[in-house]
Copies of this chain bind each other. A is one copy, B any other.
Amino acid sequence: MADIPARTELKVTTGPIRGSRKIHVGPLGVAMREIDLEPSSGEPPIRVYDTSGPYTDPQARIDIMAGLPEIRRDWIRARGDVEEVAQREVRPEDNGQLGPDRSGGVQPFPNVRKQVLRAKPGANVSQMHYARRGIITPEMEYVAERENLGRAKMGTVALSRDGESFGASIPDYVTPEFVRDEVARGRAIIPNNINHPESEPMAIGRNFLVKINANIGNSAVASTVASEVDKMVWSIRWGADTVMDLSTGRNIHDTREWILRNAPVPIGTVPIYQALEKVGGVAEDLTWEIFRDTLIEQAEQGVDYFTIHAGVRLGYIPMAAKRVTGIVSRGGSIMAKWCLAHHKESFLYEHFDEITEIMKAYDIAYSLGDGLRPGSIADANDEAQFSELYTLGELTHRAWKQDVQVMIEGPGHVPMHKIKENMDKQLEVCGEAPFYTLGPLTTDIAPGYDHITSGIGAAMIGWYGTAMLCYVTPKEHLGLPDRDDVKVGVVTYKLAAHAADLAKGHPAAQVRDNALSKARFEFRWRDQFNLSLDPDTAEEYHDQTLPAEGAKTAHFCSMCGPKFCSMQISQEVRAFANKQNQGVEGFLATGPTGAETAAASKAAALKGMEEMSKVFKETGSELYMGSGGREHD
């Protein structure tokens, strides 16, 4: 019972992120970060999206043993559609303690609720249900404020709508009405279980900022509860919008309770993992009843979204058996084994509408799992994968009939040229329900660097329309990520999501890039560090070669030194021209303009190509055939 140490020893990282202040915006006090720039810049502070919760607020009192304040408590109760019920009693098997050996347990969370919330009989407490009845909830208002990054409606920041959004409908300004509409039509979800009132509302949908998820959780062979709580806090510090607790092995119930009570972001789980522990790891012994009981258990704790692998149907298993890497989803393989052993359709599929009944009583969102996602380049976009996707489309519409929120999980390992097909098919059959992808990894050959192989695919599929990107850490395929891996994974995915926002033309996305680039050009090193996704690392890297304080204002860095600094020379070019009292343009106003010069060059280039083509033709040479026409051998 020693895993969670005494109060004074339990450590999570608190305090402001370097160079920024916590602010609370609007009547709901939506949390954001504000980065002050050096006075010399003459620019206002930059507001950025903030997932870190009270942990980065110096005003907040953090007590892991007590849990976070319940910011949504009153909103939930004010709707009058919930009732208090006694929480299902925790059983030894909930923590994987099946036999007489009860060693290795952890201290339960000290502040467990005796009473939990549930929808009143016949009620539906999902945000989608409210939205479809035209109700704007405080959660929707919170989301609207948050997505605008504190911009005023007719903000002073000029809107850049340069981008290619592939059919998304990103508004210039997000209103609560817009959030409601998106939730109503299923294009966005706000995952927040009524039993997780600690969570700050956020939206996942392709007309909002692209989100990222971080996976944490212990396994039977590694990690502890304390380190998982620490990883959760650490991952949201760097930008994780949601966190999945993928714990297996022992102490699943208690680990989750510690995480939920201290999490200001939505928490997702894969309930089949715990169900499997309850039957001693024997997939064939799983039953609907055990699974259902697990859903209730987790629903009462406050899990915000469930990964349910209901698309792994009996008939699809032969398709996957032929693959290079078979089934690589844990949940998918468990269900495949069950189906095959019983020679029966999946109980998740068969009982899907009953699961939905449970989801709507707590407002848990579906994350329909892609149990047949490809685990290698060779298996990408195959029959097994897309067959399952069609079933996920069917289930989306079944869930929507009960006004339950849905997102769809996606691959996996996919080479670049096959990524867009995934997005297009998902939009087609899942009615634009938010897509939530793992990477995808664009090659299999870089274990140790799979945050990068997958970051490439993630940025691309985010651009194409994926609403949330599930991170991959450097340890993927090799081991359980530690704290450092979690940070690298989160920052990598944060930059991929931001690259996607830029490419989609999100109206506020480029503000931060512009501010950072301007700081770079003006040698405001501190501003450059503070505006970056990871100010600590940026400053540390700079200081490895030029640690002196004076170097923070120097007009050069160790890369080029003072004489070769292009930024410095560029500034000299400007200054020189200004000295002529006419600007660069005026100074050069004799001779051809730049545009005339460029036009002449372009004409010469095209003429050159024509001539070369002619020479080859005249000499009868086979060497010059023009582009693209010929395959050799």
Contact = CB atoms under 8 A, between A and B. Distances in A.
A509 to B, nearest CB: 9
Given A171-B631, A316-B597, A624 B569 contact: no
Interface string A525-549: 0001101111001101110111000
Interface size class on chain A is 35 or more
A78 interface: no
A50 to B, nearest CB: 15
Contact of A175 (B384, B571, B632): B632
Contacts of A588: 314-315, 317-318, 340, 343
A474 B334 CA distance: 40
17 contacts: A181-B622, A220-B564, A221-B545, A313-B601, A316-B594, A325-B567, A327-B569, A328-B566, A330-B566, A333-B570, A334-B569, A343-B587, A394-B601, A396-B605, A444-B517, A452-B492, A455-B456
Contacts of A106: none
Interface string A224-260: 0000000000000000000000001100000000000
B517 A429 contact: no
Interface in A353-398: 375-378, 383-384, 386-388, 390-391, 393-394, 396-398
A591 interface: yes
A592 to B, nearest CB: 6
A542 B417 contact: no
Chain copies in the assembled complex: 2
A432 B624 CA distance: 11
Contacts of A451: 452
Interface stretch (A12-20, A26-34, A552-560): A552-560
Given A534-B448, A591-B315, A629-B169, A456 B573 contact: no
A442 interface: yes
A180 B585 CA distance: 46
Interface stretch (A65-73, A288-296, A495-503): A495-503
A623 interface: yes
Interface centre among A281, A431, A455, A601 (most CB of B within 10 A): A601
Contacts of A443: 495, 498-499, 502, 513
B557 A478 contact: yes
A483 interface: no
A627 interface: yes
Contacts of A606: 393, 428-429
A283 interface: yes
A21 interface: no
A421 to B, nearest CB: 11
Nearest to A371: B566
Interface string A390-431: 110110111010000000000001011100000000011111
Given A167-B627, A495-B452, A587-B343, A447 B528 contact: yes
Contacts of A569: 283, 327, 330, 333-334, 336-337
A271 interface: no
A109 interface: no
Contacts of A384: 594
A79 interface: no
A612 interface: yes
Interface in A294-347: 313-321, 324-330, 332-334, 336-337, 340-341, 343
Contacts of A333: 566-567, 569-570, 573
A186 to B, nearest CB: 8
Contacts of A432: 627
A122 interface: no
B340 A378 contact: no
A398 B513 CA distance: 38
A23 interface: no
A329 to B, nearest CB: 6
Contacts of A328: 566-567, 570
A482 B332 CA distance: 44
A37 interface: no
A123 interface: no
A532 B447 contact: yes
B393 A546 contact: no
A595 B313 CA distance: 11
Contacts of A623: 131-132, 180-181, 184-185
A487 B632 CA distance: 36
Given A171-B632, A564-B248, A376 B517 contact: yes
B393 A445 contact: no
A61 interface: no
